[in-house]
Amino acid sequence: MPVLPSDVVIVAYPLRNGTQALMPRRVTPRSCVRLDGKAKAGYASRAVARRSCAKHENVYRCRFCAAWHRATKRKPNSLCDTLPVAWIKRRAA
């Protein structure tokens, strides 16, 4: 039996007669595919990814394919980072 690459899994598909067919299927990580199923554009460097589109200046390095992808959303700030905190001491009147 040939050795399969690490991104290929064997999936059992049910047939009409009740048996199953084992078929190989290539698995792509979610971070490398858009919601519509098309592959995201991968860039060789961070600077090239930032210059590719002025609207999306946020980029990240993919841990699966080691390419740079454009990010459409920013990570949410924590509540402590957005609200200034001031402690006021009150004296008894």
> What sign for the dihedral angle of Cα 42, 48, 52, 56?
positive
Q: pLDDT (tens digit, 9 = 90+) per residue, 24-40? A: 887 766 778 877 878 88
* CB-count exposure of residue 68 (10 Å: 0-12, 13-18, 19+): buried
Q: pLDDT (tens digit, 9 = 90+) per residue, 32-69? A: 887 787 888 889 998 888 888 777 678 888 888 888 98
In this prediction the pTM is: 0.50
Whole-angstrom Cα distance, residue 31 to residue 39? Answer: 9
Whole-angstrom Cα distance, residue 86 to residue 51? Answer: 40
Whole-angstrom Cα distance, residue 57 to residue 54? Answer: 6
Which sequence spans correspond to the domains of the chain?
Answer: 8-74
